[in-house]
């Protein structure tokens, strides 16, 4: 999954906690922080050939990138993504292993009940709201969708606790649709590199749909999210280890 991170020199660095130091690049990032909490550091716009080369390299390094969330079916993927807001995938996986062992369908989740769901997810931030949303979305799936997860963005986004980003993750990962969920990592990488500049997540989503060659759209969000999580970090991007350093338009590259 993380083939492009498996190079031996990178493993030790991956294990180290992210630096808390605020370097010059981060100060400039903060200075440009938008009202929505997203940092719109727009470096310009890469052209078709540069974007194609960037994704050719991501593909060569990791041909079949996968989500780091654990799930067993479309329903458990949806629940895992809902629980992942403001939480790490590792933390979500710890909570969901036991939860999905007893409730891997909407019917079983409803039968489990909100209180017992809460006990399973109490290690996560906002666990009360998340448990309520998991219970209510399971109930809605049973009552309105015959216990199946719908394959439309509007239907998904109409479920409790499910926003556009979560709907796009489910459409992409579970249904194979080239949807472009934009989280904080993808927003940052898209703007810094010039692959898909935009002032807010929806603008970046549209730019990704427009700019990323169709052949790469199915996996582009995994490549970008993993790149942002492990290499193009918010506070101190690891530009020396970056596959696309010579392509990226970010002015404040680290040595």
Active site residues per annotation: 165, 183
Partners of 39 in beta bridges: 33
**Residue closer to ligand SF4 (CB basis): 106 or 237:** 237
**Residue closer to ligand SF4 (CB basis): 59 or 238:** 238
Closest separation between CB of residue 250 and ligand SF4, Å?
Answer: 4
Check: CB of residue 255 under 8 Å from CB of residue 239.
yes
Nearest to residue 160, comparing CAs of 124, 128, 181, 134? Answer: 134
**Residue closer to ligand SF4 (CB basis): 109 or 189:** 189
Helix locations, 32-183, DSSP H? 48-61, 74-83, 89-102, 106-112, 114-121, 127-145, 153-157, 164-173
Q: 4 Cβ partners below 8 Å, 6+ apart?
A: 58, 61, 62, 226, 243
Footprint of ligand SF4 on this chain (CB under 6 A)?
A: 192-193, 231-232, 237-239, 242, 244-245, 248, 250, 253
**Residue closer to ligand SF4 (CB basis): 99 or 231:** 231
Closest separation between CB of residue 243 and ligand SF4, Å?
Answer: 8
Check: CB of residue 109 under 8 Å from CB of residue 79.
yes
Closest separation between CB of residue 186 and ligand SF4, Å?
Answer: 12
Closest separation between CB of residue 36 and ligand SF4, Å?
Answer: 21
Using left for φ > 0, alpha for ψ between -120 and 50, and beta otherwise, residue 37 falls in: left
């Amino acid at each position: 999954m993380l083939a492009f991170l498996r190079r031996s020199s990178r493993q030790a660095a991956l294990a180290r906690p992210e630096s808390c130091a605020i370097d010059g690049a981060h100060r400039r990032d903060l200075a440009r922080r938008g009202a929505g909490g997203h940092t719109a550091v727009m470096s310009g716009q890469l052209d078709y050939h540069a974007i194609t080369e960037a994704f050719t390299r991501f593909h060569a390094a990791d041909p079949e990138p996968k989500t780091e969330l654990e799930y067993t079916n479309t329903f458990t993927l949806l629940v895992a993504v809902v629980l992942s807001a403001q939480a790490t995938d590792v933390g979500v996986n710890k909570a969901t292993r036991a939860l999905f062992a007893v409730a891997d369908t909407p019917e079983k989740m409803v039968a489990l009940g909100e209180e017992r769901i809460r006990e399973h997810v109490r290690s996560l931030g906002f666990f009360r709201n998340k448990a309520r949303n998991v219970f209510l979305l399971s109930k809605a799936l049973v009552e309105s969708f015959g216990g199946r997860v719908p394959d439309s963005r509007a239907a998904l986004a109409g479920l409790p606790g499910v926003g556009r980003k979560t709907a796009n993750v489910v459409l992409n990962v579970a249904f194979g649709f080239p949807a472009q969920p934009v989280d904080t990592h993808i927003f940052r990488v898209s703007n810094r590199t010039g692959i898909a500049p935009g002032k807010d997540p929806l603008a970046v989503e549209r730019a990704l749909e427009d700019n990323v060659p169709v052949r790469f759209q199915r996996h582009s969000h995994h490549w970008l999210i993993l790149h942002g999580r492990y290499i193009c970090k918010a506070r101190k991007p690891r530009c020396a280890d970056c596959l696309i350093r010579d392509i990226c338009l970010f002015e404040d590259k680290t040595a």
